[in-house]
Structure 1
Amino acid sequence: MRSAASLTPIIGIANAVVVAVAVVGLMVVPSSGETPAGPRGGAATRQAPQQTSRPLEPQPSVSQGTGQPPGAVATPEFARQVKANEAGLVPVLMYHRIVAKRHAAIDRTPKQFRQELEKLARQGYVPITAKEFATGDIRVPAGKFPVVLTFDDGHPSHFGLDAAGNLRPDTAVGIILDVARKYPGFRPVATLWVNREPFGLRDRAAQETAVRWLAGRGFEVANHTWAHPNLRALPTSQVRRQIVRLERLLAKLGAGPSTTMALPFGNLPRVRKAARTGGWDGTRYDFAGVFLAGAEPSISPYAKNFDRGAIQRIQSNGKKGECRKWCSQYWLEWLNKHPRERFVSDGDPQRISVPERLRGKIEAKRGALVNAY
């Protein structure tokens, strides 16, 4: 097994493997036409909490204004008790089609998808969106682990409404909500990166209904470019055009501007920064996070070497073929076997709790927020 310190050198090889698998998978799919950080990103807003006579019992924090219940004010003693490590690794899981019969290696069946979600729920993972992750707005109960569920391409299997306007239960979103009902601590949110025909819908009114339904329930709908091209093969002006055209569509549908984007095929453009910030025809974009196609857990967004322009993801799949070491079953098992490497929340969005040995891994501008033990 590799330690966290040894993960970086294999990124290039891992990405190449996952991109190759993705390209093969996408060939069977029909064609279709730095921002401010989160609440932990700036200076501390209050002094470190004073130790009380009962240091292991957290006190309620002030409301965070997100509709979620207030968390705990983490003291070093409480962070130690819950084994908090907010410098740890976070699984950002990548899904494509959720279909009854798999036609490509990157497809998952509804049964496989449900089983993976239920395993995550039983193991203590709590979903957050890619936006929340990239901006450092991680509001997960103390002792639990964030996980980011992401879906590429806006496929009809991700989301759909029936003729009566009810959610189709066999879609990815329907399954997420069903698992959340079974496991109340499993927050039902995800990020869906779409192209020019979100969820296979061509009618503009239907697209808007879908996007607003999702956004109104905490799901993130964001940018995956207009036509899903290989950005590395395009001149920079066309890269920006692809991104801006989708941004304009999302704005019309009620989901823009995007905070995150996923790279088609996981390929960065030749001018790398063009994927994260730029403009075309009078419209600008500035993403907090740009996500790759694989193939490892991401480092913490609070870490000094966190790269917002190339955030790692993990393809959802079993341990077969190229996925023996690069996909979700492998990495979730690895994180369970290496709990000291995993991101564990302190339950306090205003603190960054880490073991003393990891204090130096947190970026300097967040130093006033560090709660080391």
Structure 2
Amino acid sequence: MTVRNLARVTVVANMVVVVIGLIVLALLPSAGRPEARVKVKPAPALPGARLPPPVSATAESARKAQANEAGLIPVIMYHRLLPKRIASIDRTPAQVRSELERLAKDNYVPITAAEFVSGTINTPAGTHPVVLTFDDGNPSHFAVDAGGMPKNDTAVGLIYEVAAKHPNFRPVATFWINRNPFGLKDPAQQAQAVKWLLGHGFEVANHTSSHPDLHRLTTKQVKEQIVRQERLLKKLGVPASTTFALPYGSRPKKLTAAHDGEWDGTAYHFDGVFLAGAEPSVSPYAKSFSRYAIPRIQSNGKHGDCRRWCTTYWLDWLDKHPQERYTSDGDPTHVSVPKKLEGKIISSKAKEIIAY
């Protein structure tokens, strides 16, 4: 498959994710479920999320690294982590651990969705950025134990577990949350959890207040859903979101309402809007980058509908087509590409192109 053919599966895949998502929503536990009381202690010592020190790339060093910063970047979408899967988009901790281990061994380095959208991609030469995203703020994504450490088999716990084994595997991810983040209903506990994540380099951002299918709403209702969640995030200490994930990947009838709008005196703007499937994204430096319709890849195997657009398929495909994958030159101030791809890059005052 060529890059030119990648977009062909997006529409079908998003429709599948919408249907699956509606089923999952119906299966979620009721709002009356007792919540765990979590007291977040001061941050323990964990692998750091700092970016590597900058280097100065040259044509020679870019060629040696086989840099291609016009290439494809996997943005991976996760939902619930359960010991026994209920819906097809659920993953077990063992499955997520295995996938993260594969990414680390294949020289992928996590960045946040905000870093990706802004073009702040600073990974070592020869490595490949990957964006780990978790939807809905499920309790399986983040919780801490009595010692203030991320609980085993939560998303954050698994990320740190893999990072401890693989020093280049930067422990960051993006959590797009709704009105009860991580199953917590107490505002103080919500704020503590969010503060912990932000303090460790994770991104926490807007996924609407109640997770509706935005295509079914009026434009005013779409804006209300986004603003209500943005106000909650502000109360929890989150800076204004720069990224937004569409619930079910479903786009509102008025497409611009997904990234710019105002409701009840509060305005919002997102630099990037993410879909729910079904392929790697082009580089944010590429002329073809569509920042308000960024595809993601569902974490899953190769069964059924996932034969062509879930992570196992795409990670295999990128391994077999390394020339199509984003490979870093190690220098965040330059964009390095083979000469034949120079015309695919957006020229920018902040970036200098190295074509080798």
TM over 0.5: yes
Q: CA deviation at 1:369?
A: 1.6
Report the aligned-residue RMSD.
Answer: 1.6
Do the aligned partners of 2:176 and 2:244 also contact (CA within 8 Å) in 1?
yes
Q: Distance in 1 between matches of 2:187 and 2:201?
A: 21
The answer to whether the Cα contact below 8 Å between 1:302 and 1:366 also exists between their aligned partners in 2 is no
Q: Aligned AA for 2:211?
A: H
1:20 aligns with 2:3: no
Aligned to 2:8: 9
Match 1:290 to one of 273, 287, 292: 273
Give, in whole Å, the separation in 2 of the partners of 1:155 and 1:368.
38
CA distance in 2 between counterparts of 1:26 and 1:322 reads 20
* Equivalent residues of 1:318, 1:330 under 8 A apart: yes
Match of 2:51 in 1: 68
1:303 is aligned, of 286, 305, 308, to 286
Looking at structure 2, the residues matched to 207 and 291 of structure 1 have their Cα atoms a distance apart, in angstroms, of 24
- The Cα offsets for residues 292-315 of structure 1, whole Å up to 9 and x where unpaired, read as 000000011011121111100000
Map residues 71-86 of structure 1 onto 2, 5 A cutoff: 71-86=54-69
Q: TM-score, normalised by structure 2?
A: 0.92
Equivalent residue for 1:98?
81
Matched, 1:325 2:325: no
Whole-angstrom CA distance in 1 between matches of 2:291 and 2:29: 31
Distance (Å, rounded) in 1 between the aligned partners of 2:30 and 2:72: 35
Matched, 1:371 2:350: no
Task: Extract unaligned runs of 5+ from structure 1.
Answer: 34-65
Deviation readout 1:313-364 (Å, 9 max, x if unpaired): 0000000011111100000000000001000001100001011111111124
Amino acid at match of 1:68: L
The question of 1:240 aligning with 2:239 is answered no
Secondary structure of 2:244's match?
strand
Q: Name the CA distance, whole Å, in 1 between partners of 2:52 and 2:351.
A: 24
Question: Match for residue 212 of structure 1?
Answer: 195
Residue by residue over 1:252-290, the C-alpha shift from the partner in whole angstroms, topping out at 9 and shown as x without a partner, is 111131111100010010010111111111211111111
Given that 2:142 and 2:156 are in contact with CA atoms closer than 8 Å, whether structure 1 keeps it comes out as: yes
Q: 2:208 aligns with which of 225, 240, 244?
A: 225
1:92, 1:31 → 2: CA distance? 30
1:130 equivalent in structure 2: 113
Shift of 1:7: 1.4
Corresponding position of 2:341: 358
What is the rounded CA distance, in whole Å, between the counterparts of 2:333 and 2:4 in structure 1?
27
Is there any run of 5+ residues in structure 2 with no aligned partner, and where?
A: 33-48
Amino acid in the other structure paired with 1:168: K
Structure 1 residue 366: Cα displacement:
5.9
Partners of 2:86 and 2:6 in 1: CA distance: 31
**Cα displacement (A) at 1:28:** 1.3
